[in-house]
Amino acid sequence: MRGPRSLAIALAAVTGVVTGWILAQYYLDRHRAALFSQRPRRRHAALGYLAGHPSHDSLRVLRDYLSWEPHPMLRRRATRVVREVEMALG
C-alpha cells in the first residue's frame, strides 16, 4: 500500500513534467518565427516548431535556412527536420 509520502512524490513528479511541457510549448510558440535570429537557442526553437508543423512553405524556408546557417549543430538539426518534413509531406 502506498503511503502519503509516495503519493506526494508522484504528484510532484507529474506536476514537474506537465509544467516543463507547458513551458517548452510556450517557448516554441514564442520563437517560432525566429529561424534567422542571431541567437542559436531561438533558431533551435524555431526548428522544433517547424518540425511539428510540416508544410511546403516551411520546407522551402528550411532549405534557405540550411544554406544560411553557420553553426554545424543547427545545420545537422535542420537537415533532420527537412527529412522529417519531406517524409510527412510524402
Its domain, for residue 10, covers 4-89
Could you give the 3-state DSSP secondary structure of residue 1?
Answer: coil
Domain count, the chain: 1
Task: Write the DSSP assignment of 25-65 as a string of letters.
Answer: HHHHHHTTT-TT-SSHHHHHHHHHHHHHS--HHHHHHHHHH
Render pLDDT for 41-78 as a digit per residue (tens, 0 to 9): 989 989 988 998 899 998 999 999 999 999 999 999 99
Model pLDDT for residues 6-42, shown as the tens digit of each residue: 889 999 999 999 999 888 877 767 767 788 889 999 8
Q: How far apart are CA 40 and CA 35, in angstroms?
A: 9
| 8 A C-beta contact, residue 46 and residue 31 | yes
CA 63 to CA 61: how far, in whole Å? 5
User: Is the pLDDT assigned to residue 1 strictly greater than 70?
Assistant: no
pTM above 0.85, yes or no: no
